[in-house]
Structure 1
Amino acid sequence: MRLIMFNTTMGVAAGIALMLVPRFWAVVRGDHPPLLLVSPQRAAGGWAATFGALGAILTSLGFVMTVWHPLAPAKDYIDTIFGEPTLILGVLLLTAAWHLARSGDPLDPERLRTALSPASWVVFWLGIVLAWCAAAIVRFDAVSSAPAEEPITGLLHDWPMVENLFFAIVLYGLAAVGCLAFPFAIRPTSRVAWPIMYWAWTVSGVAFALFSAMNFYTHTGLLINLGTDGVDFRW
């Protein structure tokens, strides 16, 4: 079986975006939450360039995965669960980059809240999509376990629910919570939704990025092991 896999790059880019968006909003709000790890100075150029780069990766690869279904030889439904939400996220990031690059004072909190008001509808419904994706992962064993030939994650081959729950709760579930909180978190008086969004996207983003980065190793090993005769897999 020949697999074409670029969900590694997509996962890392999506994870970085989930980490950066709440930090961007913290800079706009003038807040200093734990693990901010970015400059609190309001400089829109760097944010626009970063969101544009991530958006270009996610939009292009998400579009290809949505219409081409490269993972179909392994699981024909996984392209829909991963590719389509990634495409939506990529377009949102490109739109944000365009707005930040062309606005006169792009980091003015009131102007940004006004601009984000209609966009928050899209983010909220992306949260609904992610919630249903999480439900499908658990109900239909959509992610399942990695093949036994895959290093590290293949050790859980006989326990598919472990990876299903990790995807459903930590990756998709927390990302959905952040999206659902987003319309309320951008309000100036937000005291509950804002930290919920910040930590939900931070944890989900770190998990997405770390897991996808690890897959550069595990997917390489998988493809090598699939082409190896016998059961003496390389780990």
Structure 2
Amino acid sequence: MLITEAPGLIIDWTQMPTYNTIMSIAAGAGLISLVYFAKALMTDREVHLDSWSIAFAVPGVILFTTGLHMTLTWPFAKYFPFDNIIFGETSFGFGVLLLFAAFYLWKRNDKIMASGDAAAYLGKVSRPISLMVVGLGLALIAIAFAGVIFQLFAAPPEEPITGAFAEWPWMEALFMSGMFAVVGVGAVLFPLALREFRLGAPRTTMQWIVGLCWGLAGLGFFLFGALNFFTHIGLIVNTMG
């Protein structure tokens, strides 16, 4: 990336491939799908697991491939190395979880439904992997602190819409860090949400909190990713030189 003081920011985009636009949409879709899946398990005896397997596999493939590439190759290494960790490693981890969930639901469909309570069955299956979920949650909370302390995520003035707040970098830092933190809190509380997770059971306080955290943050990532398809294209147009 080549930067000049005048007439404005000039970027050599061949040196900085970026695809966190589709990653954001996939992460948001994955989080929202998890919330609706949990609700379906607790309220519907005839859950169509094949459909949910597809719902998890599609964003899982996107997050796994893009996250793995970003984690191993560090496309932002020369200019924004922290973005490789923030977006790459977290997307890779979430993508792996979604893909294994999709594969398990597809492979064990009949056995899960034959249990008579798919929610309780999957709740027991999910308990061991909850340690990894908590670990990723703590990582997201750490990223949120780093985003605020070091004022990361600020868009340059050449980027449409979000660039209008370039003079106040703390605003986008708070917004993005807040979404990471909320997802992280939900992930840390995930093992507690598995308690009393069964068909027909009233939702516990922890289940409500995790659902709100993942649902709201998922919607935020989903919409922000969609917005970035405009803002990032605008940034490229404004900085090609």
Q: What letter is aligned with 1:184?
A: L
Q: Is the contact between residue 126 and residue 179 of structure 1 (CA under 8 Å) also seen in structure 2?
A: yes
CA distance in 1, matches of 2:137, 2:191: 11
CA contact (8 A) 1:4 1:70 kept: yes
Of 177, 186, 208, the residue aligned with 1:178 is 186
Mapping 1:35-50, distance limit 5 Å: 41-50=46-55
C-alpha separation between the residues in 2 aligned to 1:114 and 1:127?
20
- 1:151 paired with 2:160, answer yes
Match runs of 1:115-194 below 5 Å: 115-143=125-153, 145-169=154-178, 171-188=179-196, 191-194=204-207
Deviation at 1:73, TM superposition (A): 4.2
Q: SS state of the match for residue 122, structure 1? A: helix
How far off its partner does 1:203 sit?
A: 0.7
Task: Describe the SS at the equivalent of 1:118.
Answer: coil
Aligned to 2:19: 6
Match for 1:142: what amino acid? L
Are 1:109 and 2:115 counterparts?
A: no
CA contact (8 A) 1:78 1:142 kept: no
8 A contact 1:14–1:209 mirrored in 2: yes
Aligned residues: CA RMSD: 1.5
Cα distance in 2 for partners of 1:225, 1:41 equals 52
Aligned-pair identity (%): 35
| Count of aligned residue pairs for this structure pair | 218
String of CA shifts for 1:18-77, please: whole Å, max 9, x gaps. Answer: 11101101111118xxxxxxxx85100000011111111100000011111223344121
SS across alignment from 2:21:
helix
Which residue pairs with 2:7 in the alignment? none
Q: In 2, Cα distance between the equivalents of 1:72 and 1:211?
A: 24
Equivalent residues in 2 for 1:56-95, closer than 5 Å: 56-95=61-100
Q: Is the 8 A contact 1:99 1:106 kept in 2?
A: no
Q: Unaligned 5+ residue runs, structure 1? A: 32-39, 229-235
SS in 2 for 1:147: coil
Normalised by the size of structure 2, how large is the TM-score? 0.86
8 Å contact from structure 2 (residues 133, 187) kept in 1: yes
* Equivalent residues of 2:25, 2:222 under 8 A apart: yes
